[in-house]
């Protein structure tokens, strides 16, 4: 399982001991109130092809502090993620993110830090103080209120498939497929996200990007058809407007955090992009 290294660049997979595998690098960025272990179901697939690092988002459980949103919270977060990439020794990498992490990797790609980019149900495609952003805030406030009241009970429920259907039904489409120990770590991370109040205060005050010029490498946006947290219909238009040339993929039957719903399909969705980009880099003209 992933853990913090004290610098916020917690890593899974081939970088667990800080050593590179020599394969092309891949950065995995989890979502709001999440944890790097959300990517664990994909690691057996991704590690065959890439030097994988799953990092802790700043201000999240196990991550570095994030207490000042600056003038633009998304830009400030991206600055911090760039520093984490620098600490890994990576100028560019295959970038993969989910939800808030999807938003973050798209902004990193705009800064020319991407070999390829896959954003899964990315947040941030909303308008300033839009109905969509306000809805997202309500959802996460409700989740945090429930955790404050029922955190011990949630841990007990997460140990059983039927219990996970109650605790995880909004995040995933198939709670019974999520291993109990991972579910427990999800709950612990969500209940211990220091920056959650700051994030839900400032993130809705940020518009979707007006342009995404400067992207290098292939870009894919994937969205679960059963995403109950950021449904495609309401949360994709802002990104579609600025990513008209991206490859848009529907993950049939999968939820907002789809990694445990169908690890093989989600891995394939990522590797189709990253391995193609790697071939383009290494093949002669």
pLDDT at 1: 28
Note the pLDDT tens digit of each residue in 81-122.
Answer: 999 999 999 999 999 999 999 999 999 999 999 999 999 999
Task: Kindly state which CATH superfamily the domain 13-141+190-282 is placed in.
Answer: Alpha/Beta hydrolase fold, catalytic domain (3.40.50.1820)
Chain centroid to Cα 32, Å, comes to 8
Query: How does residue 217 score in pLDDT terms, banded at 50, 70 and 90?
Result: very high
Burial class (CB in 10 A: 0-12, 13-18, 19+), 271: buried
**Which residues on adjacent β-strands are paired with residue 247?**
220
The average confidence (pLDDT) of the chain is 90
Kindly state the average pLDDT of the residues 20-25. 82
Contact 257, 31 (CB under 8 A): yes
C-alpha to C-alpha distance for 18 and 16, rounded to whole angstroms: 6
Distance between CA atoms of 90 and 196, rounded to whole angstroms?
28
> For residue 93, which phi and psi values (nearest 5 degrees)?
-155, 165
pLDDT at residue 5 is higher than 50: no
At 54, give phi and psi (nearest 5°): -105, 115
* 8 A C-beta contact, residue 38 and residue 186: yes
Mean pLDDT, residues 54-77 taken together: 96
What is the structure's pLDDT at 280?
57
Strand order of the sheet with strand 50-55?
Answer: 50-55, 24-29, 93-98, 114-120, 219-224, 247-251
Residue 16 has pLDDT above 90, yes or no: no
Domain ranges within the chain, ordered by starting residue: 13-141+190-282
Query: Are the C-beta atoms of 111 and 163 separated by less than 8 Å?
Result: no
Confidence of residue 218 (pLDDT cuts 50, 70, 90): very high
Indicate whether 4 pLDDT > 90. no
> For 173-191, what is the mean pLDDT?
95
Which helix (DSSP H) or strand (DSSP E) does residue 137 occupy? helix 131-157
């Amino acid at each position: 399982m992933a853990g913090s290294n004290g610098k916020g660049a917690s890593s899974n997979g081939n970088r667990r001991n800080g050593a590179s595998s020599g394969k092309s690098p891949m950065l995995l960025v989890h979502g709001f109130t999440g944890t790097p272990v959300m990517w664990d179901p994909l690691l057996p697939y991704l590690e065959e092809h890439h030097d994988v690092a799953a990092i802790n988002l700043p201000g999240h459980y196990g991550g570095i502090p994030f207490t000042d949103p600056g003038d633009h919270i998304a830009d400030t977060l991206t600055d911090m993620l760039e520093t984490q990439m620098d600490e890994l020794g990576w100028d560019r990498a295959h970038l993969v993110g989910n939800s808030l992490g999807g938003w973050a990797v798209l902004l990193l790609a705009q800064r020319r830090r991407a070999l390829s980019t896959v954003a899964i149900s990315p947040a941030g495609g909303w308008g300033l103080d839009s109905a969509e952003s306000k809805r997202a805030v309500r959802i996460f406030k409700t989740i945090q209120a429930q955790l404050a009241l029922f955190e011990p009970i949630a841990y007990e429920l997460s140990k059983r498939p039927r219990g996970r259907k109650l605790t995880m039904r909004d995040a995933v489409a198939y709670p019974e497929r999520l291993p109990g120990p991972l579910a427990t770590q999800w709950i612990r991370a969500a209940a211990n996200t220091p920056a959650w109040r700051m994030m839900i205060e400032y993130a809705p005050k940020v518009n979707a990007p007006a342009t995404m010029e400067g992207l290098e490498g292939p870009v894919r946006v994937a969205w679960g058809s059963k995403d109950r947290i950021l449904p495609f219909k309401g949360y994709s238009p802002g990104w579609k407007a600025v990513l008209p040339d991206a490859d848009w993929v529907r993950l049939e039957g999968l939820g907002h955090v789809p990694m445990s719903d169908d690890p093989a399909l989600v891995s394939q969705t990522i590797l189709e992009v990253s391995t193609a980009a790697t071939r383009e880099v290494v093949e002669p003209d």
